[in-house]
Each structure stands twice: as C-alpha cells, then as structure tokens.
Chains A and B, each alone.
Chain A
Amino acid sequence: MTGVPISWYLTLSAILFVLGVAGFLFRRNVITVFMSIELMLNAVNLSFVTFSYQLKNVGGHIYTLFVMVVAAAEAAVGLAIILAIYRTRSTLNVDEINAMRD
C-alpha cells in the first residue's frame, strides 16, 4: 500500500483553480462570478493542506483557517454589495453594471 501521490492532490487543486478562473471570465451573473471566487479559494486551501502534510508543518492548517475567515467576511460584504447594486440598478448582469467605466 503506497498511498496517494502528493502530485494528485496538487493537480486536483490546479484544475479546480482553473475552473474558478474560467467561471470568473466567462460567466455574466454577478452571483456566479462570486461563487467562482469561492471555488478558487477552496482550491488554494486544498494545496495549503497538502503542503502542510508534505512538510509536516501545522502552518498550512492555520493559513487555511485564515483563508476561511477572510472568505466568510468577503462573502458577507460582497453579498451586501450585490444587494445594494440590485436595489439601485435592478440587474445582476456584470455587463450592465458599468457606471464606473463610463
């Protein structure tokens, strides 16, 4: 019994991260774009925990914990911003939210 290669975990993390980037680039709904960011954060968490295992150091777990805290705070503030945008502009399409570009 040899166990799971570390590179498999890291490759899974890379694939999930790229999927998150793809969602961020290609999707037009602001809530789905936000969920893509959460997907990227989760992918990075997986590689933190994997590095922590490989280097036998508890620091990776602590960083994962901090990423979770920041993601929770980010989700609360970001969704509040989405609510405020929807109240003033009545749309969730990122192409129509362009007041700062004009």
Chain B
Amino acid sequence: MDVFLFLIFASIALVCGINVIVQTQPIASAISLIGVMGSLAVLYLLLGAEFIAAAQVIVYAGAVMVLFVFVIMLLNAGAETRRGRSFMVSLLGVPLLITLLGLLSYFVQRLFPSAAAQFGGFKPGTREIGRSLFTTYLLPFEATSVLILIAILGAMLLARKEVDR
C-alpha cells in the first residue's frame, strides 16, 4: 500500500514538475507547481510528518501560490517568447544537469542502501515539534519573526506606487 501510494504521488509530482518547466504560459506553470506541492504533501504524510504536510498545503499551496497567481494575473503575463538563449547555456546546460543528477542519485543510493520507510515508523506529533521549536530552536524561531516583519515592510515599500511629491 505504501509503495503503491508513493509511486502514484511521486509520478504526479514528476509529471507536474516537468510541466512547470516546459509550459510557456506562466499560469500553467503555476498550476503545475501547485500539483507538485500537493503530491509532496501526501509524501510527507507517508513519512509521518503530519504537521509539515498541513503547513505545506496551507503555506505553500495556499498562500505562496495564491501570491504567484495574483501577480501573474496582475501583470497579465502571457506566453514567453522563444528567443536565442546564451550560447554557453545551450551548449553546456543539459550535460551539466545530467551530471548533477547522476552524482546526486549516486550518493543518495550509497547513503542508506537498505533502509525502508514504513508508514507510522516515526511519527512526531505537534507536541514534539513544538517542544523542540521552543527549546532547542528558540533563537532561530525568534529570528524568523523579525525576518517576516522585515519582509512585510520591504514588500510594502517595493510594491508601493510612486506618488508625485
């Protein structure tokens, strides 16, 4: 059952991920990216990360992607024009990417050769996450609150319409 669910949602994530980079319309890329995030949330559930799965759906698929879709529609972004890209990228890009994928896969196979994930094998609830967040990781947690405050101010400042003085 685990393997079955993994294969279904991993293939959805892969197809949507490829779709993100081959679609010319930004809005189609955005919808595909929501598909990737939704199927990743199911994989988090399979790994026992319920809180992360909920946060993934709410924060990523909800808030961040709504922001993306909103900006795409606000700017009326159409299909991108296929123009000559840089020579170096078209020559070296694909071989380097395949090399990167090969290296990553090789080291990943070496890392945990025989380990397998059972559903429910490790299942920290919000209690453990919260305790860890407010004891061990208290300083980074407080730092992120400052970061978000700065991001709000920066976004307002940057997106503000210039007014004549």
Contact = CB atoms under 8 A, between A and B. Distances in A.
B93 interface: yes
Contacts of B55: 65, 68
A92 B141 CA distance: 35
Interface in A37-81: 38-39, 42, 45-46, 49-50, 52-54, 56, 58-59, 61-62, 64-66, 68-77, 79-81
Interface in A1-26: 1-23, 25-26
A97 B120 CA distance: 49
B163 interface: no
Interface string B122-155: 1010001100110011001000100110111011
A43 B159 CA distance: 29
Interface size on B, as a range, is 35 or more
Given A2-B116, A53-B48, A62-B133, A15 B2 contact: no
Interface size on A, as a range, is 35 or more
The main secondary structure of chain A at its interface with chain B is helix
A21 B10 CA distance: 19
B52 A29 contact: no
Interface of A: 1-23, 25-29, 31-32, 34-36, 38-39, 42, 45-46, 49-50, 52-54, 56, 58-59, 61-62, 64-66, 68-77, 79-84, 86-87, 92-93, 95
24 contacts: A4-B2, A7-B113, A9-B6, A11-B109, A16-B14, A26-B85, A26-B93, A28-B85, A32-B29, A42-B36, A61-B124, A64-B52, A65-B55, A69-B144, A69-B148, A72-B64, A75-B64, A76-B152, A77-B154, A79-B155, A80-B156, A80-B157, A82-B71, A83-B71
